Structure 1
């Protein structure tokens, strides 16, 4: 099939007159095939656009959630800063008082706090002897 003749028409109508209906059917089927391919491509693009739309909605909701979380954290940090400022003010006032009684109470409180943390840590880990026995059990079971 001469594509140039099909596009521009044949100069020699006398010779190709019988071939014209055949060329018309070829052109029609070619157009139909191209339209089907275009329709398939359009459907693919529509599906991809739908996916992108869902993704952008999810991103938008994630951003809103993150912003609200950040706002709440900012408020909480401002509250904590206010409490810390008040506590530091009280400590400065106590230090300026120069009363040995307050200093003794503060030192005892800090020592008791450290002792409490030490004992809680010992109790939660079971001490150093407990860790060694666990390790021995693991070695005994892995060697069997």
Structure 2
């Protein structure tokens, strides 16, 4: 190895030690032996930080509980909506079958009766649908 390079590396290490606050032995000022008053201060600071962490954890726990309640509420709402949709689907299915049967009867009636009677019947059905539409709207 080149001796000039070794000296240059050693000088760079000492320069870095000067700027970072480390001593030539490689220990940083924070790790040096401390006095009893500085131990009390660091313990006090540590306890303050722990209490702040505990307060923040309590706050986050409260927020998580609120989100949990909201999620459970949404879940219940979704279940109720699914039940309502299922019930409506069954009712619409029954209504479709019922109206289909009625239309078949009307077709048979229109084939057997005169057209005059059929037109009156269609008019009556249209008026009935309009009436129910405005009642249930």
The alignment's TM-score, normalised by the length of structure 1, stands at 0.62
| 1:73 equivalent in structure 2 | 88
Of 111, 114, 118 in structure 2, the residue corresponding to residue 96 of structure 1 is: 111
Q: After TM superposition, where is structure 1 displaced by more than 6 Å over at least 4 residues in a row? A: 113-118
Query: Could you list the runs of 5+ residues in structure 2 that have no partner in the other structure?
Result: 1-20, 22-27, 132-137
Q: Matched residue of 2:67: which SS? A: helix
| 1:126 equivalent in structure 2 | none
The alignment's TM-score, normalised by the length of structure 2, stands at 0.65
| 2:119 equivalent in structure 1 | 107
Instruction: Specify whether residues 54 and 117 from structure 1 end up closer, same or farther in structure 2 by C-alpha distance, changes over 3 A only.
Output: closer
Shift in Å, 1:112: 5.6
| 1:8 equivalent in structure 2 | 31
Of 25, 38, 43 in structure 1, the residue corresponding to residue 53 of structure 2 is: 38
Q: Does 2:75 match 1:60?
A: yes
**How many pairs does the alignment contain?**
105
Shift in Å, 1:96: 2.6
Instruction: Specify whether residues 89 and 45 from structure 1 end up closer, same or farther in structure 2 by C-alpha distance, changes over 3 A only.
Output: same
Shift in Å, 1:95: 2.6
Shift in Å, 1:69: 0.4
- Which structure ranks higher in relative contact order (CA pairs < 8 Å, sequence separation ≥ 6)? 1
Query: Could you list the runs of 5+ residues in structure 1 that have no partner in the other structure?
Result: 11-18, 121-144
- Residues 9-28 of structure 1 show CA distances to partners (whole Å, capped at 9, x for unaligned) of 24xxxxxxxx6101101110
Distance 1:90 1:117 in 2: 17
Distance 1:74 1:51 in 2: 34
